[in-house]
A and B are shown apart, each in its own frame.
Chain A
């Protein structure tokens, strides 16, 4: 285990040290102490390493992550894991807004709650939230899965494309062109896999699936009020 004290080493050197780890590095376990809410910690990683951040983080922690596993032992600021491509991010506390925005792949797990616009414009990432999520989540979501073990706020999945959403609790309201969908066997299997990967004990049969009604895919003046 390599330990970096962020307040002593500084952000730039910390990230450059992590960026310097190649695919075949034998220094696979890293620990960052004293993050103190700093922004852009461990962003742009691209190696199969495990980074544990001992505390809360600011904006864009683990942004654009590739391959790495980043564990935040605190709460995470806005845009955590934005545009994640692969790998895994685990947030032990709560996550602020825009979690996993535009993420293309990989998995983000939140043990607490996630704020508004969780998974906005998601493009393939899987997000599993043990608690609740805020309003306008998965706005314009293109692909990937958003799993919510608690409740979802207003306008879930507004203007979504092919992303799908599994909610165990209540949904305050659905966004434009988002509708309740049938939960078939393949969805139960998919959901069980995501819950297992996230390490969360929940029964897929208690969830409801939501996705695009596909009525806004091609512009139609009769739908103008929905835009």
Chain B
């Protein structure tokens, strides 16, 4: 490029707009070409304050650590002891979040069950009901009770180890779902009582209750039907965590599942995923505050989800007051989703490994988020289960490593006092001091 014009006057350097970025411009061009908003899977991709903005301080003279290979650091958790005669006992506080058969293939659901069971934790059904392979391979299976009630069946309800009433999910607080016709195979159609090949919409509200007073009665009905045996969770998106947690407790939930905006979905509008909801880091303290204000912290369990990736994330969630976490996207990656070994095929789909999110189109090269029989053959549920089990064990070991370094003999003993924040935003959200100070924005009795 010429640096000067014909009269010798220098050109300015071409400058990309920070407002109209190449990404944004491609969004505009896509919208202009199609007239339809972009639908995709996954969670928020934008950068938001996260657990990466927190650090543990570790032990020092005032705290002594535990010996890594000699002194125990327990990881077990009991969920639902408040009302259920058979609460869920888990060896590790990392559960598998709800993902539907339909969104995922049958073998992928089987692998989640195999991996979770080997690691001593639970899996969760999704929109579309319970499949025999999922029940058969999951020692502890949580049955989601969703607005659509696709595949909802009292026989399956009674087979569940817990029931999770889904009010919302972090990727789309206030939104329903969409499973495009490409994934409505014969089996999926039959389970959902729908014609094959249509676009299946999932409702955003439950059909037979609205509001917290009704929810209390709905929980009563589910307890009556299941004989007060199994715990009843309420899953809410990270929208208004203090009030939603308060209302869920008031309605009688045994556990609250709280899902931040990094939490994935099988499919919804990109604008919904990126612009509605709050980051996982921002929602945990208000929810814990609600539990504490009602005297229910550690009695009603808090399960946090949305972008949990490592043992460090697990430890940070628990230090801020969560009793357990749930993983979805991370579990799919452990199974083989977005693996670079399929790069050529990702390229053919117009994307690249790590960025593939058109899960709703059913063309997943890894054979996980598909109902295509040929693609499904690429995925081995036994190998997938082994990989997930390995990953869960590594996360647990990592969390234990941190807890021992903080002098804690149980992951539940981690506390906010063990943490500092790297940014003002994270300090304000987590209510832990900015590193190098004893202050966070909004701290009571300070002059700021």
- Give Cα A43–Cα B228 distance, bound, in whole angstroms: 13
Distance to closest chain B CB from A158 (angstroms):
12
A120 touches B208 (CB 8 A): yes
Residue among A39, A60, A217 having the largest count of chain B Cβ atoms under 10 Å: A60
A46 touches B (CB below 8 Å): yes
Distance to closest chain A CB from B321 (angstroms):
33
A85 touches B153 (CB 8 A): yes
Against B, the Cβ 8 Å flags (1 = close, 0 = not) of A98-112 are 100110100000000
In the complex, chain B residues whose CB is within 8 Å of the CB of A159: 201
Q: List 25 A-B contacts (CB under 8 A).
A: A12-B228, A15-B224, A39-B217, A39-B220, A40-B221, A43-B221, A43-B225, A46-B154, A59-B217, A59-B218, A60-B208, A60-B217, A60-B218, A64-B225, A66-B154, A78-B214, A83-B154, A85-B154, A98-B208, A98-B209, A120-B208, A121-B149, A140-B201, A217-B198, A219-B178
Distance to closest chain A CB from B33 (angstroms):
11
A221 touches B35 (CB 8 A): yes
**B148 contact from A60, A121, A162, Cβ within 8 A:** A121
Against B, the Cβ 8 Å flags (1 = close, 0 = not) of A65-76 are 010000000000
Q: A64-B225, A66-B154, A124-B193 are in contact. List 16 more A-B contacts (CB 8 A).
A: A12-B224, A40-B221, A59-B217, A59-B221, A60-B208, A60-B221, A64-B157, A79-B221, A85-B154, A98-B209, A101-B149, A121-B148, A140-B201, A161-B198, A217-B195, A221-B34
**A218 contact from B194, B199, B225, Cβ within 8 A:** B199
Interface residues of B (CB under 8 A from A): 34-36, 148-149, 152-155, 157, 178, 180-181, 192-195, 197-199, 201, 203, 207-209, 214, 217-218, 220-221, 224-228
- How many residue-residue contacts, CB under 8 A, span A and B? 101
**A161 contact from B194, B207, B218, B220, Cβ within 8 A:** B194
Against B, the Cβ 8 Å flags (1 = close, 0 = not) of A196-215 are 00000000000000000000
A123 touches B149 (CB 8 A): yes
- Give Cα A85–Cα B129 distance, bound, in whole angstroms: 15
A83 touches B152 (CB 8 A): yes
- Give Cα A66–Cα B447 distance, bound, in whole angstroms: 64
Distance to closest chain B CB from A19 (angstroms):
7
In the complex, chain B residues whose CB is within 8 Å of the CB of A219: 36, 178, 180, 199
- Give Cα A159–Cα B208 distance, bound, in whole angstroms: 17
A58 touches B (CB below 8 Å): yes
A98 touches B227 (CB 8 A): no
- Give Cα A162–Cα B200 distance, bound, in whole angstroms: 13
- Give Cα A217–Cα B200 distance, bound, in whole angstroms: 8
B217 touches A58 (CB 8 A): yes
Chain A 75-100 interface residues, beta-carbon cutoff 8 Å to B: 78-79, 82-83, 85, 98
- Give Cα A101–Cα B210 distance, bound, in whole angstroms: 13
Q: DSSP majority for the B interface?
A: loop
In the complex, chain A residues whose CB is within 8 Å of the CB of B181: 217-218
- Give Cα A59–Cα B34 distance, bound, in whole angstroms: 46
**A102 contact from B152, B198, B228, Cβ within 8 A:** B152
- Give Cα A143–Cα B201 distance, bound, in whole angstroms: 15
- Give Cα A43–Cα B218 distance, bound, in whole angstroms: 11
Interface residues of A (CB under 8 A from B): 11-12, 15-16, 19, 39-40, 43-44, 46, 58-60, 63-64, 66, 78-79, 82-83, 85, 98, 101-102, 104, 117, 120-121, 123-124, 139-140, 142-143, 159, 161-162, 217-219, 221
In the complex, chain A residues whose CB is within 8 Å of the CB of B225: 43-44, 63-64
B224 touches A102 (CB 8 A): no
**B149 contact from A44, A102, A221, Cβ within 8 A:** A102
B199 touches A44 (CB 8 A): no
Distance to closest chain A CB from B393 (angstroms):
38
- Give Cα A40–Cα B228 distance, bound, in whole angstroms: 13
B224 touches A79 (CB 8 A): no
- Give Cα A78–Cα B197 distance, bound, in whole angstroms: 33
- Give Cα A39–Cα B214 distance, bound, in whole angstroms: 11
- Give Cα A158–Cα B155 distance, bound, in whole angstroms: 30
Distance to closest chain B CB from A173 (angstroms):
20
CB closest residue in chain A, given B149: A102
A101 touches B224 (CB 8 A): no
Residue among B153, B178, B195, B225 having the largest count of chain A Cβ atoms under 10 Å: B225
- Give Cα A218–Cα B200 distance, bound, in whole angstroms: 8
In the complex, chain B residues whose CB is within 8 Å of the CB of A162: 195
The verdict on A123 contacting B208 (CB below 8 Å), with A60-B221, A221-B35 known, is no
- Give Cα A60–Cα B152 distance, bound, in whole angstroms: 16
- Give Cα A59–Cα B206 distance, bound, in whole angstroms: 14
CB closest residue in chain B, given A84: B154
In the complex, chain A residues whose CB is within 8 Å of the CB of B148: 121
A40 touches B220 (CB 8 A): yes
Enumerate the 10 nearest inter-chain pairs by beta-carbon distance, A residue then B residue, closest first.
Answer: A44-B225, A79-B208, A102-B149, A101-B208, A98-B208, A64-B154, A40-B221, A217-B198, A123-B193, A221-B35
The verdict on A121 contacting B207 (CB below 8 Å), with A83-B154, A85-B153 known, is yes
A11 touches B208 (CB 8 A): no
The verdict on A142 contacting B152 (CB below 8 Å), with A59-B214, A79-B209 known, is no
The verdict on A121 contacting B227 (CB below 8 Å), with A59-B217, A82-B208, A85-B153 known, is no
CB closest residue in chain B, given A212: B195
Distance to closest chain B CB from A72 (angstroms):
16
In the complex, chain B residues whose CB is within 8 Å of the CB of A120: 207-208
Distance to closest chain A CB from B26 (angstroms):
19
In the complex, chain A residues whose CB is within 8 Å of the CB of B34: 221
The verdict on A16 contacting B203 (CB below 8 Å), with A102-B208, A120-B208 known, is no
Distance to closest chain B CB from A68 (angstroms):
12
In the complex, chain B residues whose CB is within 8 Å of the CB of A123: 149, 193
Distance to closest chain B CB from A127 (angstroms):
14
Distance to closest chain A CB from B269 (angstroms):
11
In the complex, chain A residues whose CB is within 8 Å of the CB of B227: 16, 19
- Give Cα A159–Cα B176 distance, bound, in whole angstroms: 14
- Give Cα A123–Cα B154 distance, bound, in whole angstroms: 14
In the complex, chain A residues whose CB is within 8 Å of the CB of B152: 83, 102, 104
